[in-house]
Structure 1
Amino acid sequence: MGVEFGLLGPVGAWDAEGAALPLGAPRHREVLGRLLIARGRVVPVGRLVADLWEGPAPAGAVGAVRTFVAALRRALEPGRVPRQPSRLLVTDGPGYALRAPREAVDAWRFEDTAARAGRAAPHAALALWDEALARWRGPVLADFPHAAWAAAEQVRLEALRLDAVERRADTLLATGAARDAVADLRAHLAAHPGREEGWVLLATALERSGRRGEALDTLRRARRALAGAYGPGARPALARSEARILGATGSATEPAGTADSVWERTAAAWDRSVPARSRARLHATAGLLRDLAVTGADGLREARTHRRDLVAAAETTGDTELAARIIGSYDVPALWTRADDPEGAGELVRAAARAAARLGPQGPPALRARLLSVVAVESRGDAAADAPPSRAAGAPAAEGWRLRAERAAEEAVRLARRLGDPALLAFALNGAFMQSFATCGSAARRDVLGAGLTRLAVEHQLPGHEVLGRLIRLQALAGLGDLTAADAQAEEIDRLAQRNERPLAAVFTAWYRALRTCETDGWPAARPRYARVLQETAVCGMPGLGRGAAALVALVPVMRGDGLPGPDDFAGLDAGPYRPWLEPLLLAASGAGEQARRALTAVARPPHDHLQEALWCVLARAAAAVGHVPVLRRARDELAAAGAESAGAGSGLVSFGPLTHHLLAVDAALGVHAPCAGPAGDGAGGRSPLAAGETEQD
């Protein structure tokens, strides 16, 4: 509606231009304030009467409230047609509700901005804390300081404000601006001397400003102030701060966040304070592994190594909810669909499924959404397969594990949206992305999904998932051939990755730029770029990306042309996980037509991931060479929906050229090798693929 409301100070409302709206007499503003603190819930007329007249209400109180509401509606929606229902201050059942979005109320925006600041890195957090605190114009509901209906909200919001002041000061310390924090904290404590955390922060700021004596004197004054407010007693935070300052041996002026000793002292304190084999250690370890996974290649390897052990340790406690929390805590953004450790991924899927089954559908919905997201993310490609995939030469078949993973992704997103938890929704959307490859030709759908994830991540300061959302878009746009839009995503990814210390993102943008060079300048120009990116990928800590990558690159010039590989094109290359789909092509190229046909009859359909279109094209090329009609027909059916895309480009890694080119080749092969066609050769040397006397493969 373009109207903004204020609780953080006198009750107010402003139009879209920032002009104050005429709310009328104090009773009108009081009704508005009472409806605002209800946060969109209905306030019955009787409740409004009781709140506005704390003693016995006059005989016309109900009518007066209705008059106040009517006047407020005129003020808030001056352009509303007479007798048209209000869309802002609505009548609902026995009372009224104010339907204002969160961003329209200063108190709610303060809370949301503070929450984002609490998740942000120090320099970004400082700007957010300033933005949050700038919303305060005075005490909460300042024109109704003694209203009983306002008391609880006044106390709650004021406590959040005091906490925000202290967390902003802590952020100043973390950025090395200790001197700036001193003045703010002194003013804060002059008004609120009972804040122990504020005193500790002031002492710390003084110490880091080189004023050690003042810091110790501040702690002594803090004890007197707190004793006056709460009586004598132990003040553990003050005692710890004093012991630290007295025992400090390093430079008192060293800024926060630059000394390794801070980590060492904290780790030592953790070991001393937290009992061995406690649940707190499991929770802390889960958080460390999650953070470790995004630090780079070494951290990713370590996180992958220890994650399975952590899940096993949590399951041995016998506490289903604890195990579920540990399993669901690893919400690291995931992109590459070939699991780095397929066996481990399968174990995690089964562990998450066990925990979800034990919790049941009535278990905590947020926890259930996390477990379902784990199932969806880890079931990438065929990692969670519990039966052999269907064959490429046969008809499509329902595969239970894939259907379960798809349903898990859908339910996780539904639960996360219902709960309104942005971080949980981002994790669930990651699972939905992993399960978005049910059919070929899904690049446009993935672009929409990536755009939604990016918006969510930007709005709620989730930098890791913003990088993920943009990478999803980068790949999808490359598949759709919109390289200009993909370039913009690549530039933003690199900027975000550098700012938020996400080094692995650069691996994906390097692959994309090699692909782009191939699309615009041809294979000879792209070849040296691919050589460099293969070297980088070999040490990136993602074997699911690295294994077989050189074979994918070697396929590029082959598949962008019309022939078969040369005898030395793949010499010494490890095809890794792609060997089953490359093998028939290599056999056909070597003249082993019968072996190639047998391989095509036995090979499984390509995994449902980024490269399914590319691998179907590889199978189709081999099938055309040796006359394997069932695979040609299946490839034609699978690829039909992807006609507007480039083969493989949706991976962001390689492109085999327009899919229309490959479809035309399949059509030509089917036309030549239809059942009514005459005798054929063995597929070698460019001859017709069906040898005399042979039939189509079943």
Structure 2
Amino acid sequence: MLREARRKLSDELGLDLSPALTVLSTRILRRDGQLDRSDSASLASIASAYSSSSVRAQLEASNVVLGSLAVAGDLQTARQQRLAAIEAAAGLNDPELAARIIGGYDVPGIWTRTDDPAASTAVVAAAEAALASPVNLTDRSRARLLATIAMESRGAGNRQGEATEAVELARNLGDSQLLCFALSAHFMQAFARTGLAKHREDIGRQLITTAFDADSPTCEINGRLIRMQALCALSDIDSAALEANAVDQLAVRHERPLAKVFTRQLRHEDVLVDGDFGPYEPWVRPLLLLRAGHQANAAAALRHLPDPPRDLLLEATWCVLAQTACELREPSMISRAYTALTPAGGERAAGSGVVDAGSVDDYLGMLWAAGAGPA
């Protein structure tokens, strides 16, 4: 991580790490208990460790520290300080600088739903404003802003166009680090429908190759996790296990504590235990109501549901709805589920890598038998 920070500061900003920063970065990444992170609420206290030359240089350097904090596991501090940096940059009335600050936080993502929608909305709004400014942005700044929009809009909107353009710009620039970020953002938008596991496997493969060129273990982990998830959906469990093992080894070697969260697979066979399903609650509740004997309430809840979120659990959620619709003999949802799941025929509803709802073909057969086919 320190090597990545040094490269980025030197190559992109023309700044060198001071001895004090080297010590500080090491202590942060080791999660030194002596550091009082509550004091890090002051952006200047972090940025000044990088440069005392100007506020501008401090802001540009801040993304390196914040990215380090994020991949080391301190997501809350990184998120808070990122918004503070964006706000501070906006106050300098320099659209080009604002664009670099907004798009410079090139931390890859693996889970396709943001855990802070308000913060993501604020970042997307800032990125869109920077793109709409009259300033003639460089292709590099434009690519970072587009990738940021695609990354932060995960699970909340269709930003495939922005993701695709970001990848194309990064390739044309020959910037492997930027291409890693753009590919990760592209993955976040690869859920327009069910059945796209092969497409995501290809994104993961490209990301792994590009990460070697960028000398980025963070992006290599990201690519291997993406490929692991896709291989689970493609029923290639042996290859998925190899990727999971590689991720675990990289996580230990490079101190990435969050990576192992995604390499522990849970298989839910026929039993769905009631509990906290978070944002997926509306799509799971009808089946739980049915299992509890509340058929009328289950049917009422099922009839008015919107389509599930377009994310890693898309196929699994549709399979839950298919099961519920077939047991209730609810024709509208039977038809909707069959149409939605048809593109995923031949796959498993296991694209998250942590939940496996079984063979999609089994659910398609169940839906057909329940009346999804011609009368």
Name the CA distance, whole Å, in 2 between partners of 1:508 and 1:378: 20
Matched, 1:436 2:199: no
- 1:348 equivalent in structure 2: 123
Q: 1:258 to 1:304 in 2, by over 3 A?
A: closer
- Answer whether contact 1:369 1:415 (CA < 8 A) is retained: yes
- How far 1:342 moved relative to its partner? 1.4
Q: 1:268 to 1:466 in 2, by over 3 A?
A: closer
- Which of 95, 112, 131 lines up with 1:337 in the alignment? 112
Name the CA distance, whole Å, in 2 between partners of 1:499 and 1:508: 17
What TM-score results when the alignment is normalised by the length of structure 2? 0.85
Name the CA distance, whole Å, in 2 between partners of 1:614 and 1:327: 34
- Which of 239, 242, 260 lines up with 1:485 in the alignment? 239
Matched, 1:652 2:353: yes
Aligned residue pair count: 351
- 2:260 equivalent in structure 1: 506
Name the CA distance, whole Å, in 2 between partners of 1:582 and 1:258: 44
- 1:379 equivalent in structure 2: 153
Q: 1:670 to 1:459 in 2, by over 3 A?
A: same
Name the CA distance, whole Å, in 1 between partners of 2:50 and 2:109: 35
Q: 1:259 to 1:471 in 2, by over 3 A?
A: closer
- 2:177 equivalent in structure 1: 423
- Answer whether contact 2:72 2:256 (CA < 8 A) is retained: yes
Q: What secondary structure is seen at the aligned counterpart in 2 of 1:596?
A: helix
- 2:371 equivalent in structure 1: 670
- 1:321 equivalent in structure 2: 96
Name the CA distance, whole Å, in 2 between partners of 1:622 and 1:610: 20
Q: Report 1:498-537 matches (<5 A).
A: 498-509=252-263, 511-512=264-265, 515=266, 518=267
- 2:215 equivalent in structure 1: 461
| One-letter identity of the residue aligned with 2:203 | L
Q: What secondary structure is seen at the aligned counterpart in 1 of 2:93?
A: coil
Name the CA distance, whole Å, in 2 between partners of 1:348 and 1:257: 27
Answer with 1 or 2: which has the greater Rg.
1
- 1:475 equivalent in structure 2: 229
- How far 1:409 moved relative to its partner? 0.3
- How far 1:636 moved relative to its partner? 0.6
| One-letter identity of the residue aligned with 1:669 | A
Q: Deviations over 1:654-683 (max 9, x none)?
A: 1011111111111111169x8x7xxxxxxx
- How far 1:121 moved relative to its partner? 9.0
| One-letter identity of the residue aligned with 1:284 | A
Q: Deviations over 1:171-203 (max 9, x none)?
A: xxx9xxxxxxxxxxxxxxxxxxxxxxxxxxxxx
Q: 1:258 to 1:325 in 2, by over 3 A?
A: closer
Matched, 1:274 2:58: no
Q: Deviations over 1:437-488 (max 9, x none)?
A: 1110111111111111101111331211111011111111111111111111
Q: Report 1:93-108 matches (<5 A).
A: none
- 2:328 equivalent in structure 1: 626
Q: Deviations over 1:570-620 (max 9, x none)?
A: 1xx222111110122122223333332332232111111111001111111
Name the CA distance, whole Å, in 1 between partners of 2:46 and 2:56: 18
- How far 1:270 moved relative to its partner? 4.3
RMSD after superposition: 3.2
- How far 1:285 moved relative to its partner? 2.2
Q: 1:428 to 1:121 in 2, by over 3 A?
A: closer
Q: 1:330 to 1:482 in 2, by over 3 A?
A: same
- 2:270 equivalent in structure 1: 558
- How far 1:259 moved relative to its partner? 8.9
Q: What secondary structure is seen at the aligned counterpart in 2 of 1:293?
A: helix
Q: What secondary structure is seen at the aligned counterpart in 2 of 1:651?
A: coil
Q: 1:439 to 1:506 in 2, by over 3 A?
A: same
| One-letter identity of the residue aligned with 1:340 | D
Percentage identity across aligned positions? Answer: 43
| One-letter identity of the residue aligned with 1:628 | E
- 1:368 equivalent in structure 2: 142
Q: 1:366 to 1:441 in 2, by over 3 A?
A: same
Q: What secondary structure is seen at the aligned counterpart in 2 of 1:467?
A: helix
Q: 1:467 to 1:275 in 2, by over 3 A?
A: same
- Answer whether contact 1:119 1:461 (CA < 8 A) is retained: no
- How far 1:557 moved relative to its partner? 2.9
Name the CA distance, whole Å, in 1 between partners of 2:353 and 2:330: 30
Q: What secondary structure is seen at the aligned counterpart in 2 of 1:650?
A: coil
| Consecutive unaligned residues in structure 2, runs of 5 or more | 8-15, 35-44
Name the CA distance, whole Å, in 1 between partners of 2:325 and 2:127: 40
Name the CA distance, whole Å, in 2 between partners of 1:499 and 1:121: 17
| Consecutive unaligned residues in structure 1, runs of 5 or more | 1-117, 126-169, 175-239, 245-255, 383-400, 519-555, 560-564, 677-698
Name the CA distance, whole Å, in 2 between partners of 1:342 and 1:408: 19
What TM-score results when the alignment is normalised by the length of structure 1? 0.47
Name the CA distance, whole Å, in 2 between partners of 1:380 and 1:476: 17
- 2:12 equivalent in structure 1: none
- Answer whether contact 2:201 2:227 (CA < 8 A) is retained: yes
Matched, 1:293 2:5: no
- Which of 54, 61, 75 lines up with 1:284 in the alignment? 61
- Answer whether contact 2:335 2:372 (CA < 8 A) is retained: no
Q: 1:600 to 1:275 in 2, by over 3 A?
A: same
Name the CA distance, whole Å, in 2 between partners of 1:271 and 1:363: 28
| One-letter identity of the residue aligned with 2:269 | P
Name the CA distance, whole Å, in 1 between partners of 2:112 and 2:286: 23
Deviates more, 1:496-505 or 1:424-433: 496-505
- Which of 163, 178, 192 lines up with 1:409 in the alignment? 163
Q: 1:592 to 1:458 in 2, by over 3 A?
A: same
- Answer whether contact 1:321 1:359 (CA < 8 A) is retained: no
Q: What secondary structure is seen at the aligned counterpart in 2 of 1:558?
A: coil
Q: What secondary structure is seen at the aligned counterpart in 2 of 1:279?
A: helix
Name the CA distance, whole Å, in 2 between partners of 1:350 and 1:269: 24
- 1:177 equivalent in structure 2: none
Q: 1:462 to 1:273 in 2, by over 3 A?
A: closer
- How far 1:436 moved relative to its partner? 0.8
- 1:303 equivalent in structure 2: 78
| One-letter identity of the residue aligned with 2:90 | E
- 2:277 equivalent in structure 1: 575
Q: Deviations over 1:234-259 (max 9, x none)?
A: xxxxxx99xx9xxxxxxxxxxx9999
- How far 1:272 moved relative to its partner? 12
- How far 1:120 moved relative to its partner? 5.5
